Amino acid sequence: MENSCRIAVLVSGRGSNLMAIIDAAERGEIRSKIELVISDNKEAYALTRAKEHGIRTLFIDPKEFKTREDYDRQIVKHLKEHQIELVCLAGYMLLVTPYFVQEYKNRIMNIHPALLPAFPGLDVQRKAIEYGVKVTGCTVHFVDEGCDTGPIIIQRAVPVLEDDTPETLSARILKEEHNIYKEAIRLFEEGRLVVEGRRVRIKSGRNEDLSLKID
């Protein structure tokens, strides 16, 4: 299939962003296919979502490995067996090791519910409200060896309302996460993402370079 790639999604929880990618593929908004869903959590509802859509799933228990790199080597083994070209992290709660990053350099994406580099890590909606920012949002980025530090692909701004709670803000951000994740995948499958240091250039269909803006 032209302009498509074989995707694996790594999950730990309910799989909301996984479902958004599945829906985008089934609607033809992206041409790529999810070949494999891997989880570090046997009870992750994301595995059920994947199975319901006929996607191969795999639970790999981190406790069975001496080191995190050993664990990631097992994941990479399965990725290569399935000829995976793009890895998407969707609520995956483990940091990937430098080994994993190098094996799939600029081919691992993550979605984060804040406008990086502000508020990396966890519980970021609460942090945004407590800090008093007027605008937050979400970011799709390539994964590097740090925590939420990789080159930024797409960002989408979401206003922080006066009466927001972490839950209400999270719900509004999540809608935008679903939109920009599928857009980042589409750009990747079309070969339009060019990483130059910390900058990700977006090539247009007319061989022009576009810079992504915060909407």
| Residue % of the chain over a pLDDT of 70 | 94
Other Cβ atoms closer than 10 A to 59: 13
**Dihedral (C-alpha) 112, 8, 191, 215: value to the nearest 10 degrees?**
-20
- Is the pLDDT assigned to residue 210 strictly greater than 90? no
Q: Is the pLDDT of residue 207 over 90?
A: no
Q: What is residue 4's predicted lDDT score, i.e. its pLDDT?
A: 85
Q: For position 55, what pLDDT does the model report?
A: 98
For residues 28 and 34, the answer to whether their CB atoms sit within 8 Å is no
The pTM (predicted TM-score) of the whole model is 0.92
pLDDT tens sequence across 38-94: 999 999 999 999 999 999 999 999 999 999 999 999 999 999 999 999 999 999 999
pLDDT of residue 2: 58
Contact indicator for 26, 52 with CB cutoff of 8 Å: no
pLDDT band at 215 (very low <50, low <70, confident <90, very high): very low
Is residue 184 classed as helix, strand or coil in its secondary structure?
A: helix
* Residue-range domains of the chain with CATH: 1-104 (3.40.50.170), 111-215 (3.40.50.170)
Query: Mind listing the pLDDT tens digit for each residue in 141-180?
Result: 999 999 999 999 999 999 999 999 999 999 999 999 999 9
Catalytic positions are 112
